[in-house]
Structure 1
């Protein structure tokens, strides 16, 4: 089937500039590709076209950082690929399983943790993977998720499958491509232009001037007043803040609901109340918010609640605003007319510090719905004393480079045990050889300090009796193998056993 026919069957009239560039630069012929482009620029279609290429006759895996994103992509891919005869499966939970039922699917959507678990369990169908698509690959820079993703990508390189990595716009994308020996496709294309403003509690400052706005109510009111059908996302730091602010915004959003939208919101609210059978306090809070055209969204809401919010915001568009945590910025498709970042600082355990410019770019990239808006508006909120720094850092500044997060010993404990228990590495030489193929090794060159950490971690695993050394060989004990399969931190597992 020719590309034009594939596009028509997928519901596209033509390729956008990024997609044209990607096809012209080898998307459908190169074995390894890194695409670095802004949020909402059309990278998902590149993944679909790669899966549909005639040369891709084996299974494909699509790796994402979050369960919510996996659920969204699974639904999207089922709709897009089943007309082509492709079956699409999903696996995000139960890390103690090789999930052999996934062998029946042509395309499998997984989280990076689940992919690592499947590799540890030696799932027999893994050998049939011909293409791995890694979405949000810039998550390599994330303190909590980056190391696992790096291990997974290093293992996928060893499988010899084709690799397509999709990333936000990052300055050192070339470094990522060089590590993977991949072709880099770099673009700054956005389907709608982005207009950034900074609100200091008195005014919003744009390039073109300033307008009065004191708080979130004023900003949401401005967003929804701009045009008929406008919608807003408000990003905050914590779940509690998301729920509290959504409740406060009810009196603002209810004034923008038509009679029909009020009826649609009432129906959503009733269903949200019954989402878990027996209503919880969260169910009641979400139901109250939905009645007035606003919702909250964070990692603690259940799948049924998430589906109702998505229906109200994306399909019926009666939900005018969502107050959310930054999990919504990780690739989940919730575009809005305006995106308001209320919390630009985050507590790091000692003091509050500004969040990375890359994260802010990901968040504000949600602004501007191609089908509805001729521009997107991103608003960054701060104290008056921080206004100039915020402008320098986020409006005129560039996103940070991404760096490997593989070197810390707590991270290495689990992954060294996983490598040994799955027989990927059976002595220090093969362990060091594995880490020589990582992004860490590519970035820093000298991995002597990393190898020193690996040695200390293996000695600890031997003390815990999760690993034993026989001559030069390293072998996981039955308990050590089980700990690795259960995806438990070895120190925590030892404490459980000792208890």
Structure 2
């Protein structure tokens, strides 16, 4: 918090439940007290929705907004929650909503190692106005100092706060079912930092006995097995470990787990709790029609939840998931069978966490969980203020040795690595907003480049500082004549350049002598903010007035006269804070150097430098030499970027570092298949279609079958849609071939598995006629919301009036029933 008060950015790496949220709330409160906006970014929409509700409860509904790809609620609010992609898009479009931005909270910043989302985080960190304060919240990572070093290099002072000790002690357990005694047994995995010897002997003896057996038909049946799901629930209840989350890496298995518990007759709620649960679920689902409820098997869902047991996975509609989350947080639902997505930031702590299997299918084979994944899952164990100990339980598995379980329990290694790679959308936005040298400069500031060669990033940061100095020198030269004339007439007026530099060198706590239009005499700076109109100081006077001072207000350069600590806590909106600040200002001793100009050691060396062509020439030479050194050392990131540029030139998106019409379209399409989408648009494959046919065709670019399963031959609403898809397939293959030749990431192939259902939904067909065993409600709703988002991007980017009109009507045609209700679920 002291770092935030000092206008420094911060990286906070700490375990779940350590109080990172408090840091974010403090930064938001400080920004609001200074009249600045605060953005809270998250990696996924579900977490954005939850943070939106939390901050609404804290600040009031009218003070908090939400912006996701398909939804906007109160976007002009002083505090706005959004996904990181939304902020990236705002930066590229140079949105005016960034003008008065004071702080950005990047929650779950360790997501920058995510293969798909990671590059977006680095784009934001590098390109966000350097005067905007960053508060980066992360899980505990072993290379936090390296991440902090990179942040400091590219953004200025960034303080690193690392906490490795959990606020609630975590005890790891190992559970199994003993087929000899017919009992579930549970042991501590680690004792005094060493593997539990009793478990080792137990498993070793069982293995030896089975190996020596002369049992007919081969080896003797295993003595141990994994407990069934009802047995797990009973084990947790018997050991007072509820509420609990049981992680299962399969949506279908999560559903099966609930059904098996229901079949076993397990009920974990009282009659009063059951009544409260039904009330909560009905409230969350009040916007669903009866047909929707029938299609979603609502009555089965509410009966399951009312028993105190539920599941939570991406195949569920948002209203169902949010109802489960609220019931669990209130302690009404006692067991949730969930996929690993629940571990990503959503605030659902439990007393115990069970990991059913320590291996996960990657699409090709099963592999042991990484230490970082194990840590994230078990991080949900232990509720702050409610539990003294959190419990993490791993179940016996014939394919995982006990030593591997111990290794995960003891591991503290979680190294953050960059996943940054240039994308087509990134490239065209670089062309639109930067010179070629400027684009390479930004790429050379990436964390990927920092991890490959720290010196390149450091040199780029120094080079940027020299270029700012040169710009100020050149402006000062141009301003010199008018400055001389002004000085002759008044004798005291400061040049705007000198004044800006003087204000930039000041920090909160500095005591300054002012000669300005609104203050003459001593003032204490309590905050500084960089706006497009210039530096703004917020100043307290001895008479307890609060004033804003900018360069335009100054009659002469301010003089630093001393420094004092600001009152703690930093609450400038409170009368007590202002009174104490004024008292400290009055009592402070003035430096003997008060009558001399301020030291310029913290800003560009302009005031002390002779404003001459010789100094400018010398600085230009220095910059040229630095550029040559950086150019010789910059490596793979820049090369990959140029591969993308050359491909875009080949496809007529870019010419001579300028965007062609296709390039302008691509700059506004934010999608993993962005290049394919623009190629399809440009070749007229979306033209002259009805609303129903347009959504069916576009669904082939959005729909992603789970597990790579094509689901057999697609159903087509008509022959025209099928023919358009065949043409899109050919375009896709052409683009993929070019991407492959250049060694680039290839877009996902189009898939027609949702075309018929999408057209039917746009035509008003009820949900009960849409869903089938292969299409879960959550997947369908998510695909429709993504398609609506894409349609709105097409409306904003196409130059074809007919397509624009059809796309606009198509977005409205899809936005009804459960799809519309899902969008509004978080905004109630």
Q: Report if TM-score (shorter chain) is over 0.5.
A: yes
Instruction: Count residues in correspondence.
Output: 457
Matched, 1:33 2:25: no
* Higher RCO (C-alpha 8 Å, min separation 6): 1
Q: Distance in 2 between matches of 1:245 and 1:370?
A: 28
The match for 1:435 is 443
Instruction: Map 1:276-291; keep pairs closer than 5 Å.
Output: 276-277=288-289, 278-279=292-293, 280-281=295-296, 283-291=298-306
Distance 1:119 1:248, change over 3 A: farther
The match for 1:452 is 639
After TM superposition, what 4+ stretches of structure 1 lie above 4 angstroms from structure 2?
Answer: 200-203, 208-213, 266-275
Q: Which moved more, 1:194-203 or 1:237-246?
A: 194-203
- Judge conservation of contact 2:444–2:638 (CA < 8 Å) in 1: no
Which one of the candidate residues 356, 368, 372 is aligned to 2:382?
368
Which one of the candidate residues 38, 61, 68 is aligned to 1:92?
68
> Which secondary structure state, in structure 2, belongs to the residue aligned with residue 131 of structure 1?
strand
Task: Calculate the TM-score normalised by the size of structure 2.
Answer: 0.52
Which one of the candidate residues 239, 246, 258 is aligned to 1:246?
258
Distance 1:253 1:232, change over 3 A: farther
- Judge conservation of contact 2:119–2:420 (CA < 8 Å) in 1: yes
Matched, 1:383 2:365: no
Deviation, structure 1 residue 274: 6.2
Distance 1:111 1:119, change over 3 A: same
Deviation, structure 1 residue 93: 1.9
Q: Distance in 1 between matches of 2:73 and 2:271?
A: 50
Q: Once superposed, what is the RMSD of the aligned Cα atoms?
A: 2.7
The match for 1:165 is 136
1:382-405 per-residue CA deviation (whole Å, 9 max, x = no partner) reads 513413343243111223301000
Matched, 1:185 2:161: yes
- Judge conservation of contact 1:28–1:49 (CA < 8 Å) in 2: no
Q: Distance in 2 between matches of 1:463 and 1:245?
A: 53
Deviation, structure 1 residue 251: 4.6
Matched, 1:261 2:273: yes
- Judge conservation of contact 2:267–2:308 (CA < 8 Å) in 1: no
Distance 1:496 1:342, change over 3 A: farther
The match for 1:9 is none
Distance 1:31 1:199, change over 3 A: same
Task: Calculate the TM-score normalised by the size of structure 1.
Answer: 0.84
Q: Distance in 1 between matches of 2:96 and 2:428?
A: 20
- Judge conservation of contact 1:361–1:399 (CA < 8 Å) in 2: no
Which one of the candidate residues 348, 351, 360 is aligned to 1:334?
348
Q: Distance in 1 between matches of 2:637 and 2:173?
A: 43
- Judge conservation of contact 2:143–2:416 (CA < 8 Å) in 1: yes
Distance 1:94 1:119, change over 3 A: farther
The match for 1:205 is 187
Distance 1:283 1:399, change over 3 A: farther
The match for 2:598 is none
1:165-213 per-residue CA deviation (whole Å, 9 max, x = no partner) reads 0111110011110011111111124332111123355543313567997
Unaligned runs of 5+ in 2: 153-157, 179-184, 200-223, 454-632, 684-727, 729-828
- Judge conservation of contact 1:272–1:287 (CA < 8 Å) in 2: no
Q: Distance in 1 between matches of 2:236 and 2:162?
A: 31
1:265-298 per-residue CA deviation (whole Å, 9 max, x = no partner) reads 4445666776632222464553342132212112
> Which secondary structure state, in structure 1, belongs to the residue aligned with residue 347 of structure 2?
coil
Deviation, structure 1 residue 117: 1.8
- Judge conservation of contact 1:27–1:50 (CA < 8 Å) in 2: yes
Distance 1:154 1:381, change over 3 A: farther
Q: Distance in 2 between matches of 1:380 and 1:221?
A: 16
Distance 1:424 1:94, change over 3 A: farther
The match for 2:600 is none
Q: Distance in 1 between matches of 2:86 and 2:357?
A: 31
Deviation, structure 1 residue 338: 0.7
> Which secondary structure state, in structure 1, belongs to the residue aligned with residue 167 of structure 2?
coil
Deviation, structure 1 residue 90: 0.8
The match for 1:322 is 336
- Judge conservation of contact 1:273–1:284 (CA < 8 Å) in 2: no
Unaligned runs of 5+ in 1: 1-22
Q: Distance in 1 between matches of 2:367 and 2:678?
A: 35
Which one of the candidate residues 221, 238, 243 is aligned to 1:225?
238
Deviation, structure 1 residue 35: 0.5
Distance 1:461 1:194, change over 3 A: same
Deviation, structure 1 residue 152: 1.6
- Judge conservation of contact 2:309–2:334 (CA < 8 Å) in 1: yes
